Structure 1
Amino acid sequence: MRLQPISITEQRMVVESSTDGTVNIADIPADWQLASAIRASVHPVLKDQRMLVHLGLQQSNVDIVNAKFHSVSNPQNADFGKFLTREELRQLVAPSAETIESVVAWLSANNVVGIEFTHSNDFIRVRLTPAQIEQLFNVELFQYQSASNPEVSIVRSATHAVVPSVVAKYINLVHGFTHFPILKSNENKGANKLGATGSVTPQVIKKMYSVTDVFSGRTNASQAVAEFQGQSFSSSDLAKFLSAFSLPSQTVRNITGPNTDVAHIEANLDVQYIIASGQGIPTDVYLAAGEDFNLIGWITDVEANANSALVWSVSYGENIASQTVADVNRLDVEFQKAAILGHTIIFASGDSGVYSRGATYLKFHPGYPACMASVISVGATEYNDDDTETQTTNWSGGGFALSNYVNASQAPWQIAAVQAYLNSGVELPPSGQYDAMGRAFPDVSAFGLNFQIYEGGFASSVSGTSAAAPTFAGIFSLVNDARLAAGKSPLGFPAYFLYQNAQAFNDIKIGYNKASGLYGFHATTGFDPLSGLGTPNYTRLKAAALALP
């Protein structure tokens, strides 16, 4: 039974710990330091800025969405591949008239203007001043500065939003001023000390993962990367990269958001390797402005756009413990909605082993949203100089979600594989370090070390699960293309398919993802929570996909 969204009022009953009704945000990344003791609402520079806030309205038929998510995704179900249209989805989840009217009336009574609805009418978007946010949601906003990147600052509340009782039953998410993003680092992750590591190029990926196809040119297969925190990519670097590795010229099909054409490592890596791995597949780029990690803004755009790419790769994340259960449940519904439209959402599993970057090294901190049940999570392996791939990196994110956020029962496709791992006799970390009742991740892996990219006109090397995610996404897009060319549906959310076809993966049996901490998980034969099912063999994946209805 999956966790159901809860109202803000119910949420406070679960986690409230203060006497004034506010709830402190747990595990704010240490990188964010208070920059000013002056509240943003009266700060001479900050008080007039407008902050984008999303209000998640109580949706209709969430239970049906969940059931549909499983039925259209499972090849063993008669509804497999029978996705909804956007209009069908809108009619299914649209909030009641009472919900919409009550929330609009509340906002209007508080002098909020410019109220906008997303496609399904289940989110309201408004731009509010700090004073309006403080008044509406019982918070205090302050400016925070990044210690590692001092030119970056954000305005945030250190307590969760509190919605007044008059509308609490109509709103189950408030997003825009409580999330502290984990900033992308330009650090090049080091190799394990076990064996020599080689450089990953497009040719290495094709050879090692048996990628024999390029885009057929006759389907609507498509892929995209989503970038946050002010990233942009360089089209000239993309051209140099493709030329340097003797790949056909290809440009990005659509760009959503502001692209300065300045080379940022993350965006360049994502664009260059999703195109290299899914050669010829039409590719889009979504660029979110500002330093926020606004997943809600992005996923609602995906749901609204009829031309949105079928496969998405995202290489960003944060610590799940900084979220509320209501936040995670609502995002889960949004990812399920994308799945029943036929989209595949892929996330990098993180680069700090079991600890999630920026968290303390005392207890495991699963990365978010990579540990969610409604996405495919990708870990990182090493390519060896002798043309072998035998181990994960020691920093590849993985483990178990906290079960109060994402319970194992929400991912039924992996229960047998996870139990086999736990019962295999492999050495496990101390039981108090992790929650074995949570969903295990990652699902799969791909190379993540020493990727050769172009940045600022020059060749460069970069590492991370953020390299593995677009690599897997590109390969998966070619599998989608093969199905579409055969007159079949795209795979949509593919977890059932992947776990039912574990033989299509190269098993990774060596690895220990403790990063610089005390403990981690060991790789072993079969599924494990640091390499997942293993790395893809395109030829076998394609054959398995074409054998489905």
Structure 2
Amino acid sequence: MLWSLPLLWACFAPATLTALASPGKPLSRRWADVAEVHSWNEIPRGWKVLSSAPPDYPLNMRIGLKQYGMDELIENLLEISDPTHPRYTQHLTKEEANAFKAPHKDASQAVDEWLAFHDINLSSADRTPSGDWISITIPVSQAEALLNTEYHLYEHLSSGEQVIRTLRYSLPRELHAHVDVVAPTTYFGTLKSMKATSFLLPNVDPVSVGDYVAQAASEKHSAGAASENNPGAVLPSCNNTITPACLRALYKTYDYTPASTDKNALGVVGYLNEFANKMDHQMFFKTFRADVPATNAAGFETVLVNGGQDDQSKPGVEANLDIQYTTGISYPTPNTYYSVGGSPPFQPDSFTTKNTNEPYLDFIEFIYKQDKIPQTLSTSYGDDEQTVPRDYAERVCKEFAAIGSRGVSIFFSSGDSGVGGGACTTNDGTNRTTFQPSFPASCPYVTTVGATVHINPEVAIPFSGGGFSNYFAAPAYQGDAVSNYLWDYGTRNKGMFNRSGRAYPDVSAQGVAYQVVVRGMVTPVGGTSASTPTVASIFALLNDHRISQNKAPLGFINPLLYSTLSSGFTDITQGSNPGCGTDGFSAARGWDPVTGLGTPDFQKLLKLIEGL
């Protein structure tokens, strides 16, 4: 059943002097003076409007109150992440972080009074422990009154997913000092429209189990005594085929045995109904980690988040890639795969209260409530930064800072479109051609991973996402490294990117021809989705070493990367990431926006953290 066709978005009344009130309720002057929070100039690309939203359809709405101590929390984060600071790695407890995240009492009171005016039962509101998020379930008609807007039903053209969103929303001016963001509103990035940063490689022949074993044996035999004296030698086949043995040799983790498996853990965050299959995982270990006893090869736990599932009959390429390589490198470190749900398909007559489709917020809300969080998290998804409303992106980025303050290293892939895919035009109405940064890769409180290819030497791969944020300023920790690159880069591609923005990636690793078992068959996969769990696993091992010495985990590592650890990476100086009709950026000596600081050398990194 289709609902009545909507007016064009250009016909929305401007949110200035009047606001909608609940039906039959006189307008309050206090709440009538409204101002716009965010709006789109046009329907986001890749979406089409279908109809007005059903007025009685229930929305699970989140209101993000400004976190009164967030600036102080970030100051703490930078202190405890600075290896030269006396408080280095003195991470915050859950309670301490919650205290910083709490809103001011005036904010809570004002928002409660606003909700009460609109006849919302405050006793039914769900609040986070710190009180910085309020969740309410209300019908669309009431949400429209709250936000002085109109909701519509939209469809994602490529996936067919349908969501209820609006092109603009407003709040009473009084609340602008108290509220960061309201969702769902103008953020159209949903589970199915998000980009998993991996892809199949149909032109690359997979390795059969028998051929792999035979080839590895042959290469070791031909290497003779050199192989016996150097068990970590990188085999020639690694130039075309990536396996755990290749990565463990190339990045020098092959002879490290984790010693803190009772305390250290690694988490992989998965979306898009991507399920990590345990039978495939066992076959992967039998083939590519034959040194591990078969009884131990199950190797990971699955945790369901916000309606996530674990359908073992539908193994996912992305999920299998991530979990097979994190466990393949970090074994026997405990690994957890977080299967994040979201909303079921839109149905006008449904009364679900989980129709949020806000993947980052769903996971953040879940993980922050946990008393214990894995010391390392890896995520291989993202959106073009310009498709994420700025208020939403800034709040999510702060939430990552809060998680990092509790001693967690958060890794995100840099994307697989170089400096930008497609036409690379802006969505602000000007249709200018510019480079397109990715989010959350552009958040300064996560560690972003690019991709390389080949060995002896490794070179940047053209799809490796990299560039400069248009939302977030360049953090001080990377100032010198980025300034040096930009000085040498000169005026090339002038005006195509924000020279003062947060630059990424921070580091990189191999990103092509990973051998992944899917439905019992070996499948070659590539992308920064492959390089990200690789780097995350290496830092999980570094955390293991620190914990074994009764030291705190590394936590937010970016300030450390650009200082003490900068010499612990193999500098990548060849290759580029073209896009948007340009040559993009080039790899260069030192940091560059294609491969970051380079690829990890675990043995060097291990020595560098010894004195911390």
| Same topology, TM > 0.5 | yes
The answer to whether the Cα contact below 8 Å between 1:347 and 1:369 also exists between their aligned partners in 2 is: yes
Q: Distance in 2 between matches of 1:413 and 1:329?
A: 19
2:384 is aligned to: 319
Q: Which moved more, 1:519-528 or 1:428-437?
A: 428-437
* Partner in structure 2 of residue 156 of structure 1: 165
Say if 1:228 and 1:289, in contact at 8 Å, map to a contact too. Answer: yes
Checking the alignment, whether the CA contact within 8 Å between 1:363 and 1:434 is kept in structure 2 is: yes
Deviation at 1:157, TM superposition (A): 1.8
Question: What is the CA–CA distance in structure 2 between the aligned matches of 1:520 and 1:86, rounded to whole Å?
Answer: 42
CA contact (8 A) 1:27 1:322 kept: no
Q: 1:432 to 1:359 in 2, by over 3 A?
A: closer
Residues 401/27 of structure 1: CA separation in 2 closer, same or farther (3 Å cut)? farther
- Counterpart for residue 188 of structure 2: 180
1:132 alignment partner, SS class: helix
- In structure 2, how many angstroms separate the alpha carbons of the residues matched to 1:72 and 1:287? 31
User: Percent of aligned pairs with the same residue?
Assistant: 28
Deviation of 1:427 after TM superposition, in Å, equals: 6.7
Aligned counterpart, 2:467: 399
Q: Structure 1's 483 and 283: CA in aligned 2 closer, same or farther, altered over 3 A?
A: same
Give, in whole Å, the separation in 2 of the partners of 1:241 and 1:73.
36
d(CA) in 1 for partners of 2:203 and 2:567? Answer: 28
The residue type paired with residue 444 of structure 1 is V
Greater radius of gyration (CA):
2
Establish whether residue 220 from structure 1 lines up as the match of residue 230 from structure 2. no
Q: Is the 8 A contact 2:36 2:171 kept in 1?
A: no
Whether the aligned pair in 2 keeps the contact of 1:448 and 1:463 (CA below 8 Å) is yes
Cα distance, 1:466 vs structure 2: 1.0
Matched, 1:540 2:608: no
Deviation at 1:304, TM superposition (A): 1.8
Alpha carbons 2:413, 2:450 under 8 Å: kept? yes
| Corresponding residue number in structure 1 for 2:311 | 260
- 2:108 aligned residue: 100
Within 2, Cα distance between the matches of 1:541 and 1:132? 55
Kindly indicate whether residue 287 of structure 2 is the aligned counterpart of residue 244 of structure 1: yes
Question: Which sits farther off after the overlay, 21-30 or 108-117?
Answer: 21-30
Output the CA distance in 2 between the equivalents of 1:126 and 1:31. 29
Please state if 1:471 is matched with 2:534: yes
Deviation at 1:293, TM superposition (A): 4.8
In the superposition, relative to structure 1, how do residues 470 and 154 fare at CA in structure 2: closer, same or farther (>3 Å)? Answer: same
Task: Give, in whole Å, the separation in 2 of the partners of 1:26 and 1:470.
Answer: 37
The answer to whether the Cα contact below 8 Å between 1:53 and 1:127 also exists between their aligned partners in 2 is yes
Q: Deviations over 1:201-249 (max 9, x none)?
A: 1111101100132321455111111122333222222222222212531
> Partner of 2:323: helix, strand, or coil?
helix
SS state at 1:162 partner: strand
Please name the residue that 1:373 is paired with: 444
Query: How big is the shift at 1:73?
Result: 0.4
SS at match of 2:509: strand
Gaps of 5+ in 1: 1-11, 14-18
Contact 2:411 2:446 in 1 (8 A): yes
Name the SS of the counterpart of 2:472 in structure 1.
coil
Provide the rounded CA distance (Å) in 1 between the counterparts of 2:450 and 2:367: 24
Letter in 1 for 2:473: N
1:431 to 2:474 alignment: no
1:52-79 deviation digits (Å, cap 9, x = unpaired):
3221112222221121011000001011
3-state secondary structure, aligned to 1:431: coil
Which structure 2 residues correspond to residues 198-237 of structure 1 after superposition, within 5 A? 198-211=240-253, 212-237=255-280
The answer to whether the 8 Å contact 1:429/1:519 transfers is no
- Call closer, same or farther: CA 1:109–1:420 in 2, change over 3 Å: same
Alignment partner of 2:397 out of 312, 324, 332: 332
Cα offset for 1:414?
A: 1.0
Partners of 1:85 and 1:341 within 8 A in 2? yes
1:274-313 deviation per Cα after TM superposition (whole angstroms, max 9, x unaligned): 1112221111122221363521222232222112211111
CA distance in 1, matches of 2:150, 2:599: 46
Note the residue ranges of structure 2 that are not aligned, 5 or more in a row.
1-14, 17-33, 205-237, 344-356, 427-432
Alignment equivalent of 2:576, drawn from 509, 512, 517? 512
- Do the aligned residues in 2 keep the contact of 1:356 with 1:367 (CA within 8 Å)? no
CA displacement, residues 105-133 of structure 1 (integer Å, 9 cap, x when unaligned): 32244343531111321111223333332
Q: Which has the higher strand share?
A: 2
List aligned pairs for 1:265-284, cutoff 5 A: 265-284=317-336
Give the corresponding residue for 1:68. 76
Matches of 2:394 and 2:421, distance apart in 1? 20
Segments of 4+ moved more than 4 angstroms: 19-23, 26-29, 189-192, 356-359
How many residues align? The count is 513
* 2:144 equivalent in structure 1: 134
Instruction: Give the distance between the partners of 1:191 and 1:174, measured in 2 at CA.
Output: 45
Shift of 1:266: 1.6
Q: Taking structure 1 as reference, are residues 275 and 356 closer, same or farther at Cα in structure 2, changes over 3 Å only? A: farther
Q: How many angstroms does 1:532 deviate by? A: 0.1
1:41 aligns with 2:54: yes
Alignment check: 8 A CA contact 2:59 2:139 kept? yes
Q: Choose 490-499 or 515-524, whichever is displaced more.
A: 515-524
Q: Are positions 1:345 and 2:393 aligned together?
A: no
Partner amino acid for 2:527? G
Q: Is the 1:137–1:163 contact (alpha carbons within 8 Å) kept by the matching residues of 2?
A: yes
Amino acid at match of 2:287: A
Counterparts of 2:184 and 2:528, CA distance in 1: 26
Question: Are 1:486 and 2:541 counterparts?
Answer: no
Distance 1:357 1:381 in 2: 22
Instruction: Give yes or no for contact 2:194–2:383 (8 Å, CA) kept in 1.
Output: no
